[in-house]
Amino acid sequence: MSSSQLAQKRKTNTGFSPAQRGTNNSRAHIVLAVVGFIMVFPFLWQLIMSLSTNAQVMSVPPTFWPGELQWQNFAAVFTKVPFLSQLGVSITITVLRVLGQVVLCCMAGYAFARMRFSFKGVTLGIILSILMVPSQVYLIPQFQIIQNLGLLNTVWGIVLPGIFSAFGVFLMRQFFMGLPTELEEAARLDGANPFQIFWKVMLPLAAPGISALVIITTLWSWNDLLWPLVVTTYAESMPLSAGLATMQGSVSTDYTVMMAASIMAMAPVLILFIALQRRVIDGLAFSGTK
């Protein structure tokens, strides 16, 4: 077969000649590069602001690249806010919330998916109705409960309202419902009780769903702002999200130090995402399909 016949056959199979496919691929790459730059630009601008002076940040027209990099802005973060204390609080509340939601949501999701008990549908409907109520509606009752327990300005005061999630229960219920019942029946024939079936058979198979729950809970807990601002008044007891919010003054704001602190606060989650990129994408994709 000659080269012209081979090219004609390829064009017939795909509808485009090799030259046309190369042109289309080039256009697609250009579009993707432009869209990617637009998405990354806010982070690049944040980095530029963190290495600039306040005069350069407030200048009109804006300065897109500082003449001299102001690395001392990152050192100034530790003098403006108790960064290390707030970082420790953020890590603690994130770990506790993730552990609590994994344990409670997995057990509740399995119960609603596989077990039979009275008023199961009504109970599930009540739990899912929480998703339709804005969190600001029960903000005051939650504050009163935490206040009566004496947990204001404590880690547990921040953690307890977010240690259970109606969305997490629904997510795990949907996953357990998608697992084959034959595995559960085989374990029951081997003499396993309901807890052994859950712990040794079903829970290991739920790793993708648990990964999605861990990822979503981590992102939500790390970025939680309103509730920590309500229950904490001391800077040392605040997480990073609330601590950064307090850096914005009513008269003046040091935007360069604030941007430097924001980058430092974003770094742990960014490093975690890079390290677990494949699992993050798979987990979020799975949660979307469910």
Span 76-129, pLDDT tens digits: 889 888 999 999 999 999 999 999 999 999 999 999 988 888 888 899 999 888
Please name the residues in contact with 81: beta carbons below 8 A apart, sequence gap of 6 or more.
235, 243, 244, 246, 247, 261
- Confidence (pTM): 0.81
CB 107 within 8 A of CB 198: yes
Q: Where are the domains of the chain?
A: 3-74, 80-289
CATH fold for domain 80-289: MetI-like fold (1.10.3720)
Please name the residues in contact with 77: beta carbons below 8 A apart, sequence gap of 6 or more.
83, 257, 260, 261, 264
pLDDT (tens digit, 9 = 90+) per residue, 244-273?
888 876 556 788 888 999 999 988 888 877
CB 217 within 8 A of CB 101: yes
Cα separation, 211 vs 283, in Å, equals 6
Cα separation, 8 vs 218, in Å, equals 54
Which tokens hold the place of 225? 């702002």
Largest separation between any pair of C-alpha atoms in the chain: 86
Please name the residues in contact with 248: beta carbons below 8 A apart, sequence gap of 6 or more.
258
pLDDT at position 290 is 46
Q: Centre a 10 Å sphere on the Cβ of residue 66 and count the other Cβ atoms it contains.
A: 16
